[in-house]
Structure 1
Amino acid sequence: MTNDQLQWQIQPTIQPPEWFIQEVRQHAGTSGHYAAQLLWQRGIREPEQLAGFLNPVLFKPASPFAFGQEMWWAIERLQQARNAGEIVAIWGDFDADGITSTAVLWDGLGQFFTQNTNLLYHIPNRLTESHGLNYQGIEALAQQRVKLIVTCDTGSTNISEIELAKQLGIDVIVTDHHTLLPERLAVTAIINPRNLSPEHQLFNLSGVAVAYKLVEALYETLPDIPKQPLEDLWDLVAIGLIADLVKLSGDCRYLAQLGIEKLQEDSQKSPAMRRRPGVGRLLEYCKKSGDRPTDISFGIGPRINAVSRIKGDARFCVELLTSRDIKHVEKLARETELANARRKSLQKDVEQQAAQKLTELDLSTTGVIILTEIGWPVGVLGLVAGQIAQKTGRPTILLTLEEAEEQESRGAEEQRGRGAEEDNYSFPHSPTPPLPHSPLARGSARSVNQIDLYQLVSDQAHLLHRFGGHPFAAGLSMPVENIPLFTEAINQRLRQQIGADDNKLGSRIISVDLTVTVAELGINLFRELKLLEPCGMGNPVPQLLIKDCWFENIWNRNIQDAGGKKVSYIKTEFQICDDSAQIGFPGIWWGHYKEEIPQGRCDAIVELDFNTYKKRYEVRVIAVRSLLSNLAPIQHWLTQTDWILDWRNQAEEQRSGGAGERGSGGAEEQRSRGAEENHLEPMVDRQTLIIRECPTNWDDLQLWFRRALQTKQKLAIAYPPPQPVPPSQIWQQLVGIAKYLSRTGKTATQAQLQQKLGIGDACLQLGLQTLTKLGFQVKNGDGYYQITKHPELETPNLDAEISRDIEQFLAAVREELFRRQYFYEIPLSTIRSVAYQTTFSQND
C-alpha cells in the first residue's frame, strides 16, 4: 500500500497527573510513565476504573441475572428438564466462538445433566449446512427424544426453524450475541446482550461469554450440585472471546483476563495434570505458552477455525477442548494441526490467484472489489477477502462458483431446507431459492473504514440467494448470472453511501500512540505495554513511532517462488537502529521483502512483542517511510539515463542463442533458462537484473523497480515480442489439453498450463471455467489441476450461452495479447518515468 493511501495519525503527548502515574507504577513495577500515558489517552482516568482495568480481582462483574426475566425463564426451564429427566441438546456453531460456546455448555450443563445420556450437542457442517438452526438437524434431534434445545452463538433469527421445533414438541432457549429481529422469537428464553443498552457492561459479550453467563446463573441457583468450580470454564471463555474479535471492555475484558491466567497456569503443568490437555497440545503445536492474547488470536483460534474450513465437520473440536484422555486429544490435536496446514496452503493458493486478478482491476474506478473463481475453497474466502480489503482500503467480496456435482447436491439440500454459506452469521433474508439447474456463486465479504458492508449487500437482496452478516463482514450466495448486475448495483450504492467522503475508499489510518527510541525498547517498556492486555477492538495494541531510524542486517528467505510470484507468509528480518543506542534491536516485517525497506534514515511504526520461540523481545513493523533528506541520492540514481536498459530488440537473438548475453552468467545460465522463460525470473549478476517475460501490467514491474533501487543494480528489459497466436487456436489447445488429461487421468500444474498455452493466470482461470460449460469437471488440489469428463457425455451443442462464454474467453485472451504487445512496444522513456513516479510515491 502506498503512503497516499496510508495516513499516519500521531496522538498528541499527554502528561497524566502525578497521582495517576503513581497508581500505574504500583502495577507496572517500572516507571509507569508510558502505561499511564496510554491509559489516560484511552479514557481510563478514574481510580476505581483504573484498578478494575488493570486487576480483574478489583473488577465488579455484572450478575448473570442482569439479563432480566429472560435469564429466569431459561433457568426455570433447565430445572424443569433436570427434574423430569428430559434430554437436552446443545446447538452450537463451527467457528472458534461457537465451538468454545458448545464446550462451555457441555462442561457447564454437564454438571447438572448426564453427558451423552441427558445431554447431547450438535455442530452444523460448515460446507453443507448454514449457520444457525436447520430443519434436518431439528428433525434428527426430535428422533432422539430431545425436549429442549439450548443454542449458543446462534439462533436469534431462526423463525421457521424454531416453529418446526415447537411443532415437534421441542422447547428452545437461545443464547447468542448476533443481531436481533424486531419482534421477539417464540422461544422459552432468548439471552442476547443486544437486548441491553450499548452502554451496559455486558453489551459486547461474544457467544461463549453469553453461554458462560447461563451456566453461571445455574451455578448460583443450584449451588450444591456442581462438582467442578465455575472457574474451570474461564480458559474456554477467553479463547472464544479473543478469537471472535469482540470489543474487549467491561465483562469481556474481565473474563479474558481471568481466562488467560487459567490458560497459562494449565499450560505449565505436565500433560497428565492439565485440565485441558487438548488445549495444551495446541499451544505446543503453535509454540506458545498461553500467557498472551496473541497466543489465542494467532495460535489456538485459527487452528480451531481451520477444522470446519477444511473438513466441514468440526464436532471433534469440542472433544479436543473438553476430553481428559491424553492419547485421544493428541490424535485430535494432530488432526487439527494438519487441517490448519492445509488451510494455509489453500489460502496461499487463493491469495496468489486473487492477487493476479486484482492487478487487472482499475482501482481508481472500483469501489467494491468483487473477484470470482471456479473451485475456490469457500472456507478460506473470508480470510483472503479481509487481507485484500486491508491492503486496498476497499470492501472486498470473493465468490467461488459451484461445480456441477455441488449444484446437484445443493438442489437436493434446498428441498430439505438447508443452504451452504461460508461465514459466521445467521441468515434472516432468504429470497426464493434458485432452480436446481441454476449455478450459484458463494462467498464472503469484508469491509474497511467504517463502510457498512451489510447494508450494501442487504440493498441487493433481490439479486441474492441467501446472505447475512454485520457491518464489517458478510456471507452471501447468488445465481451466477446475477454477478454482473450485483457488481454494478453495489458499487453504485457505495457511491451513494459515502457521498463526498472519498477518504473512506483506498485509505487507511494508522494511529500512533507513543514516540520512543531504540534504546527504550526492551523488557521495561514491554512490561508497561503488557498492562493494557488483552488488546483488541476498543483497546488496540499500542503503536510505537521510532523517528530518524535506519535498518541493518536485512534479509529474508525467499524473494520469489519457482514461478516468479511473491511468496505468501514471507517475512523480512532486520536490526532497527537510531542514534540513541549503539546496537540495533531485532525485528520482523511480515509479508514484505527486503527491497521494500527504504535505504537510509526513515520513520517507522512498530509494535513491541516477545517472541516465545526465540526467547527475545522484538518489534513488528507496521509501516515505514523515508525521510525527505534521503530522497536526493535516490533521485540521483533514478534519473541516471542508463538505469533501465532496453534489450528488447536483442531478446529473440538471445533466446535462440545467437548473441552473447550482456550482464548474464553465460552458457550455464542459458541452460537453466528453459524452465524459467515463462516467469519474471531474474538473471542476476553483479551489475544487472534482467526481466525475461513481457508483463501485462505495471504492478508486474514495480517489484523489479524496488529490487534494482535496493541493490543499486541496473535493470534490463529483455522480454521478446509476444507470439502472434490466434485466440481461437489457444482455445482449441485448451480443449485438447482437457481431453488429454481426462483420458489419461494425469494432472497439470498452473505453471505448466500457462506455459503450454502462453497465457496468464486470469485468462487460464476463465478458460477453465468455460470448460465446465462443455461438461468437464475441473478440480484444483494442492496446486495440481485434474480435469475429468465422463466418456458417455458428449460435448453439448454450442448454444448461445456457451458460445457467449467462449467469446468472453477469446476476448480476454485478445486483451492480454494486446497488453503484452503494449508493454513490448512502450517507449523506454515511459518505463523510466513510471519507475521514478512509483518509487517516489512509496517514499513520500
Structure 2
Amino acid sequence: MQKRWVERNTVDTDVVTSLSKALNIHKVLARLLVQRGVFDFEQARKFFRPSLDDLHSPFLMKDMDLAIRRIEQAIGMKENILVYGDYDVDGTTAVSVLYSFLKRFYNHIGYYIPDRYKEGYGISFQGIDYAAENNYSLIIALDCGIKSVDKIEYAAQKGIDFIIGDHHTPGNELPKATAVLDPKRKDCNYPYKELSGCGIAFKIIHAFAKTNQLEEAEVFQYLDLVAVSIASDIVPITGENRVLAYYGLKKLNNNPSFGLRALVDLSTKAGEMNLTDVIFQIGPRINAAGRIDHAKDAVKLLISKSLEEAKNCCGLIDVQNMQRKDFDARITAEALEIIQKSETLIKRKTTVVYQEDWHKGVIGIVASRLTEKYYRPTIVLTKSNGHVAGSARSVAGFDLYEALSECSDLLEQFGGHKYAAGLTMKAENVPALQSKFEAVVAQSIAPELLEPEISIDAKIHLADITPKFFRVLKQFAPFGPENNAPVFIAKNVYSVGEAQLVGANHLKMYITQEGAPAFDCIGFGLGEYITHINKGIPFTACFSIEENVWRDKKNIQLNLKGIRLM
C-alpha cells in the first residue's frame, strides 16, 4: 500500500536559529525541538535531562487524599485489601506495583485479575463476590472501574469500599466510590492527563510514601514496571510519561525486577531495550497469559521474589505466547479470507468481521493486523459468554471512541481510547453494527485519513549526519506517541555498490549523496525498488536514523521508510 508523504508544518525560522545558537546544535536538531514545543535553553534542558524532581505532587490529583486516608484506615484496622486490575499489560503491571509495594509492610493484602472469558473487561460481579467471600472490605481497582457505577453500588451493599484508579475517559456519572482517581475527570485539575493505569498506581504509592515519610527509593524501584505499561498501552511520551519512561528504561536495562529480568532474557534484542523493544519483546508475553489462560500468571511473574521463581513462571508464559502466535496467525488468515471474498467488504471504509469460534484473547491483535492491511477503522468480533465481544482499532487522526459512541444503541458496553476500544453486544445486532459503523465512519472520516502516511520532520543532507549530530539525536529518546523517532528526507541520493534483497522483501544497501559519506541502509518491504536503484537512478529517501548493533559492533544505520524515484 502506497503511503502519503506529509512534511510537518513549518516552524519559526528565527526561533530555530536562536535555539540552534543557544544550544550549539545543528539547525535541523533545533527544528525538531521547536516542533516538540521546546523554544529556549531551559525548556531544552528539561527535555534532554528529564528529572524525577519534575514529577507533579500526587496530591494534585482529585481524591488522592481520600484514597490514602482510606488505605491507612484499612491498615490501621487490619482490614483485608484486594488490589484489582485489568488483564492486559497496563492492568497487570499496575496490580504488581501496588501489591508489591504494600506487601512490603502489610500482610492482609491480595490481588485479583478478572478472567477474560468468564468475566470480561473491568470490575465484575464475580470479583466483588470473591472479595465478599474472602472478607475483603476494601478493593483498589486499577486501570478499570471509571464506568462501573452499578458494580460499585453492588459492592457497597456487601459492605465493600472501592478506590478507583483509572485513566480512561469517564462517563456522564462517576461511580460512588470512596475515591475516584482519574486525571480525565472534568473536575480533576491534575496537570498531566495522559498517565497509564500503572502510572496511576505509581501515583498512589508515591502519595503513600510521602504521607508516611518513606524514602523515595521505595517508590522508584517500580519504575521499570511503569515504563513497560507506558510502552504497551501506547500513551503519549510527553510530560510525566517521558520522565517515568526515561528512568523506567534505565532501571529495566540496568537493574530490573526479577520478573522483568526473566522476560528480558527471553528477548532477542541485542543491546539496551527501548520502548519499541518493550512493545514487541516484553508486552506480548505479559499479555499472552491473559489471552490464553489467566492473567494472574503474569502478576505472579511480575511480583516474583527471586530470579529462579521468575524463570519458572516465565517458562509457562513463553509457552502461552507461542500458543497466542498460532491463534493470531490462523484467525488473521481467516479474517482476511472473509474480506477478500466479499466485494462489499472490500469497498467499505470500515472493516467489521465476525466469527463466533475465534479466540477472544487475540481478536485485538487481529484487529491491528487488519488495520495495517486495509488501513481503515476495524472491529473484530467473536462469541463469548453468550454475548459477542469485540476489539476495535483505528487509523491515525480518526476518533474511534466517538464513532462507537454513535453506535452505542447497538452495544451492551464499550470503552477505550481514541485509537483502541473494546465492546460487548448481542449477536443479533452484528449486521446492524456493520451497517451503522460504516455509515458513521463514511460520513465523518476525511478521505486522506484512509491512506497511511509518513510524517516527515525535516530535510537533511547526509553530510550533516555526524557523530555529534547523532549523539544529540539519541537524547530525543525515549520515542513513542507524540515524540516519535524523527523522520528525515534527503534528495538525490544513490546506492554505492550493489543493493541486495534480504529476508522476504527487504532492501539492504549503502547510500550516499554528493559530498557525503556512505551510510548503511535497511528498507523493510521496499524490495520492489531494487532494479531501479541498481541502475544507478537517483532517488529521494525518507528515513529514521538508528544505531545498529551487530556482534557488539555499533554503527549508524538509516531505516528507510519510503523511496521516490527521481
Normalised TM-score (structure 1): 0.62
Describe how 1:615-694 pairs up with structure 2 within 5 A. Answer: 615-616=553-554, 617-627=556-566
1:557 aligns with 2:510: no
**Change over 3 Å in CA distance of 1:466–1:200 after alignment to 2:** closer
In the aligned structure 2, how far is the partner of 1:292 from the partner of 1:516? 25
Q: Deviations 1:741-788 (Å, cap 9, x if unpaired)? A: xxxxxxxxxxxxxxxxxxxxxxxxxxxxxxxxxxxxxxxxxxxxxxxx
Residue 476 of structure 2 is matched in structure 1 by 532
**Change over 3 Å in CA distance of 1:470–1:227 after alignment to 2:** closer
How far has the Cα of 1:518 moved from its partner? 4.4
8 A Cα contact 2:526 2:562, kept in partner: no
Identity of matched residues, %: 30
The equivalent position to 2:103 in structure 1, one of 107, 110, 114, is 110
2:250 aligned partner, one-letter code: E
In the aligned structure 2, how far is the partner of 1:10 from the partner of 1:179? 29
8 A Cα contact 1:573 1:586, kept in partner: no
8 A Cα contact 1:553 1:575, kept in partner: yes
**Change over 3 Å in CA distance of 1:22–1:298 after alignment to 2:** farther
1:121 aligns with 2:58: no
Q: Deviations 1:475-512 (Å, cap 9, x if unpaired)? A: 223344433322222222223334xx4333x2233221
How far has the Cα of 1:15 moved from its partner? 6.2
**Change over 3 Å in CA distance of 1:593–1:127 after alignment to 2:** farther
8 A Cα contact 1:177 1:193, kept in partner: yes
Residue 451 of structure 2 is matched in structure 1 by 507
The equivalent position to 2:37 in structure 1, one of 38, 43, 47, is 43
In the aligned structure 1, how far is the partner of 2:52 from the partner of 2:84? 35
The equivalent position to 1:354 in structure 2, one of 324, 330, 335, is 335
8 A Cα contact 2:380 2:392, kept in partner: yes
How far has the Cα of 1:54 moved from its partner? 1.3
1:341 aligned partner, one-letter code: M
1:54 aligns with 2:52: no
Normalised TM-score (structure 2): 0.90
Q: Deviations 1:517-571 (Å, cap 9, x if unpaired)? A: 445557544322221111222212211223223454322334xxxxxxxxxxxx6
In the aligned structure 2, how far is the partner of 1:363 from the partner of 1:167? 48
**Change over 3 Å in CA distance of 1:370–1:597 after alignment to 2:** farther
Q: Deviations 1:298-319 (Å, cap 9, x if unpaired)? A: 22222212222222x0112223
How far has the Cα of 1:449 moved from its partner? 3.8
SS of the equivalent of 1:195 reads coil
**Change over 3 Å in CA distance of 1:81–1:290 after alignment to 2:** farther
In the aligned structure 1, how far is the partner of 2:460 from the partner of 2:561? 15
How far has the Cα of 1:155 moved from its partner? 0.8
8 A Cα contact 1:283 1:295, kept in partner: no
In the aligned structure 1, how far is the partner of 2:192 from the partner of 2:212? 23
**Change over 3 Å in CA distance of 1:468–1:196 after alignment to 2:** closer
SS of the equivalent of 2:268 reads coil
How far has the Cα of 1:619 moved from its partner? 2.9
Describe how 1:143-222 pairs up with structure 2 within 5 A. Answer: 143-195=133-185, 201-222=191-212
How far has the Cα of 1:259 moved from its partner? 1.2
How far has the Cα of 1:190 moved from its partner? 0.7
How far has the Cα of 1:584 moved from its partner? 4.7
How far has the Cα of 1:391 moved from its partner? 4.0
More displaced, 486-495 or 169-178? 486-495
In the aligned structure 2, how far is the partner of 1:132 from the partner of 1:51? 40
8 A Cα contact 1:111 1:227, kept in partner: no
In the aligned structure 2, how far is the partner of 1:228 from the partner of 1:323? 19
8 A Cα contact 1:21 1:32, kept in partner: yes
8 A Cα contact 1:293 1:533, kept in partner: no
**Change over 3 Å in CA distance of 1:201–1:46 after alignment to 2:** farther
Residue 321 of structure 1 is matched in structure 2 by 302
**Change over 3 Å in CA distance of 1:456–1:149 after alignment to 2:** same
1:92 aligns with 2:73: no
In the aligned structure 2, how far is the partner of 1:450 from the partner of 1:227? 39
**Change over 3 Å in CA distance of 1:107–1:291 after alignment to 2:** same
The equivalent position to 1:235 in structure 2, one of 224, 237, 254, is 224
Structure 1 segments, 4+ long, off by >6 Å, are none
In the aligned structure 2, how far is the partner of 1:459 from the partner of 1:18? 47
Q: Deviations 1:575-594 (Å, cap 9, x if unpaired)? A: 1413347875333344x262
Residue 385 of structure 1 is matched in structure 2 by 367
**Change over 3 Å in CA distance of 1:206–1:548 after alignment to 2:** same
Residue 610 of structure 1 is matched in structure 2 by 547
1:595 aligns with 2:528: yes
1:113 aligned partner, one-letter code: Y
SS of the equivalent of 2:492 reads strand
Cα RMSD (Å): 2.7
Q: Deviations 1:396-455 (Å, cap 9, x if unpaired)? A: 12223x3xxx6xxx24xxxxxxxxxxxxxxxxxxxxxxxxxxxx5432111114222223
**Change over 3 Å in CA distance of 1:337–1:523 after alignment to 2:** farther
In the aligned structure 1, how far is the partner of 2:216 from the partner of 2:59? 22
8 A Cα contact 1:52 1:59, kept in partner: no
Describe how 1:135-146 pairs up with structure 2 within 5 A. Answer: 135-146=125-136
**Change over 3 Å in CA distance of 1:545–1:310 after alignment to 2:** farther
In the aligned structure 1, how far is the partner of 2:400 from the partner of 2:258? 40
Residue 485 of structure 2 is matched in structure 1 by 541
Residue 77 of structure 1 is matched in structure 2 by 70
In the aligned structure 1, how far is the partner of 2:147 from the partner of 2:299? 24
1:623 aligned partner, one-letter code: G
1:452 aligns with 2:399: yes
Residue 255 of structure 1 is matched in structure 2 by 244
Describe how 1:483-498 pairs up with structure 2 within 5 A. Answer: 483-498=430-445
**Change over 3 Å in CA distance of 1:494–1:17 after alignment to 2:** closer
2:368 aligned partner, one-letter code: G
8 A Cα contact 2:16 2:30, kept in partner: no
**Change over 3 Å in CA distance of 1:22–1:368 after alignment to 2:** same
**Change over 3 Å in CA distance of 1:196–1:241 after alignment to 2:** farther
In the aligned structure 2, how far is the partner of 1:262 from the partner of 1:139? 38
Residue 246 of structure 1 is matched in structure 2 by 235
**Change over 3 Å in CA distance of 1:71–1:464 after alignment to 2:** closer
Structure 2 gap segments, 5+ residues each: none
Q: Deviations 1:339-359 (Å, cap 9, x if unpaired)? A: 333333332333333333443
**Change over 3 Å in CA distance of 1:317–1:585 after alignment to 2:** same
SS of the equivalent of 2:54 reads coil
Equivalences, count: 555
In the aligned structure 2, how far is the partner of 1:67 from the partner of 1:88? 22
How far has the Cα of 1:144 moved from its partner? 1.1
1:264 aligns with 2:272: no
**Change over 3 Å in CA distance of 1:169–1:598 after alignment to 2:** farther
More displaced, 607-616 or 131-140? 607-616
**Change over 3 Å in CA distance of 1:198–1:597 after alignment to 2:** farther
**Change over 3 Å in CA distance of 1:10–1:597 after alignment to 2:** farther
8 A Cα contact 2:85 2:92, kept in partner: yes
**Change over 3 Å in CA distance of 1:351–1:187 after alignment to 2:** same
SS of the equivalent of 2:532 reads coil
SS of the equivalent of 1:56 reads coil
8 A Cα contact 2:512 2:519, kept in partner: no
- Between the two structures, name the one with larger relative contact order (CA 8 Å, sep ≥ 6): 2
How far has the Cα of 1:362 moved from its partner? 5.5
In the aligned structure 2, how far is the partner of 1:146 from the partner of 1:60? 36
8 A Cα contact 1:9 1:509, kept in partner: no
